[in-house]
Amino acid sequence: MLYREAGDFKSTYTADNQTFPIKFDRNAYYLTMAVAFGVVPFIINDYWAQAVVIPFLIYAIAALGLNILTGYCGQVSLGTGGFMAVGAYAAFKIMTAFPGLNIVLVIVMAGLVTAAVGVLFGLPSLRIKGFYLAVATLAAQFFLVWLFTRVPWFFNFSASGQINAPTRTLLGVPVTGATASSATVYLICLFFVVALAWLARNLTRGTLGRSWMAVRDMDIAAEIIGVNPLKAKLTAFAVSSFYIGISGALLFTVYLGAVEAGEVFGIDKSFLVLFMVIIGGLGSILGAFLGAFFLIVGPVLLKLLLVDNLGWPTDLAAHLEIMIIGALILIFLIAEPHGLAALWRTIKEKLRLWPFPY
């Protein structure tokens, strides 16, 4: 029905190896891109942009980053919140030190700073793995937040320890600060999401990605066949932290505008992104998006339904929301332990064979 593959032939290896080998998928992707860039910016209102779409895009980047490390390279990390904080504080320091600098450049530089920090905290991964590495990255989370709340240099000695994003423009249009329009902010985030997802997809199916997956599946075997685990693990940490840093920088500069490390980048952020990756599907680009959608947009939609439409008391709705999201996580993990992406893959397989399954 949906997937009509009759006549969709491939005559070259390139055609067979493309990201979306099925024509229907490919067209759906082009359509999504066209709508996202060509239609949404003109119709989106402030509420949907600021409360739903922009946080979704930003967390999708973080989930992509963690997916590279945990899903593709098998290195469990609980330091995501700390690395997001590095991105945010790096962006703040760069923004205030060089007021004239292009904001896109600031965000990319913040990502690079985070990549360097990530490599530093990735060093223990050469000796330890699994739960032990999770605990080592947990230390990174606590240390980094501690650093950003205790060392006044990082927040430019402000009295309250908050960092504020001053207004910065891109080609004369304000991108950060309260004057930035939702459409601009949306486009900036969308640009980063698309560019980084494209990069992630191509990295993971190239040599580097294959070496990550080899290390993930069996590191000793990988080493025997010539994969350098040092290089594989540290590049995974670097690329992952780069993504997470960019998401932290975007969260601070274009979305929240004012941030306090302990509150915004606490341990619950690390868990949130880890849940996104697990629910979305380890080792899948689509999974990062599905996971972010489930955990960022889901609660907002639930709130809109329960409070704004059904008129329930806010506290009851908030408690129910926690319960419903928790129950859904359990159900999903029991029904499909490989995440929403695997669920989608199964559906897709079935649809391709429908109505004649074998």
> Applying CB under 8 A, which residues contact another protein?
46-47, 50-51, 55, 149-150, 159-162, 164, 166-167, 177-179, 255-260, 262-264, 266, 300, 303, 307-308, 310-315, 317-319, 322
Closest CB 177 distance from another protein, rounded Å: 6
For residues 325 and 351, which CB has a smaller minimum distance to another protein in the complex?
A: 325
For residues 10 and 150, which CB has a smaller minimum distance to another protein in the complex?
A: 150
Contact 61, 196 (CB under 8 A): yes
The one-letter amino acid at 278: I
Contact 133, 75 (CB under 8 A): yes
Closest CB 289 distance from another protein, rounded Å: 19
For residues 78 and 236, which CB has a smaller minimum distance to another protein in the complex?
A: 78
Q: Which residue has the tokens 């915004």?
A: 264
Tokens standing for 60?
């999708």
For residues 221 and 316, which CB has a smaller minimum distance to another protein in the complex?
A: 316
For residues 182 and 333, which CB has a smaller minimum distance to another protein in the complex?
A: 182
Q: Which of 69, 18, 137 is nearest to 283 (CA)?
A: 69
d(CA 57, CA 40): 13
Closest CB 262 distance from another protein, rounded Å: 5
Paired with 174 in beta bridges are: 169
Q: How many CB atoms lie within 10 A of CB 42?
A: 7
Peptide bond into 355 cis (omega under 30): yes
For residues 313 and 337, which CB has a smaller minimum distance to another protein in the complex?
A: 313
Closest CB 144 distance from another protein, rounded Å: 13
Query: Which spans in 36-165 are helix H?
Result: 40-43, 46-47, 54-66, 80-97, 103-122, 131-150
Closest CB 255 distance from another protein, rounded Å: 8
Q: Which residues have CB under 8 Å from 98's CB, separation 6+? A: 106
Closest CB 146 distance from another protein, rounded Å: 8
d(CA 125, CA 140): 13
Closest CB 179 distance from another protein, rounded Å: 6
For residues 11 and 309, which CB has a smaller minimum distance to another protein in the complex?
A: 309
Q: Which residue has the tokens 């759906």?
A: 28
